[in-house]
Amino acid sequence: MKSKLEQTWWFQLPVCAMAAFLTAYVMESAGITHPYHVSGWVIYVLCFAGLQRGLSFAAWLVVLVLTPSDKVRERTR
């Protein structure tokens, strides 16, 4: 389940861009530069999904730390 923050375009755009660049780097490091077969695409999609969720969580934690505590209290009430 995604939070309201994760559904905004200004949060998803940098997270997905970073996940795409990191996925390309990981795939190139693994020796799969162009996934021509279904197995290559499955690995690419799973790598992207894992990196995207991890980066989204890390960015969510950063936003949580940087948000003033008054706004956090208001949102939890």
Boundaries of domain holding 48: 5-76
- Residue 35 · residue 27 · CB < 8 Å: yes
How many structural domains is the chain composed of?
A: 1
Buried b vs exposed e over 28-55: b needs ≥16 C-beta within 10 Å?
eeeebeeeeeeeeeebbeebbeebbeeb
Question: What digits encode the pLDDT tens for the residues 34-55?
Answer: 778 898 889 999 999 999 999 9
Three-class secondary structure of residue 14 per DSSP: helix
The alpha-helical segments, DSSP class H, found in the chain are 9-29, 38-66, 69-76
Question: What digits encode the pLDDT tens for the residues 55-77?
Answer: 999 998 888 888 777 665 565 55
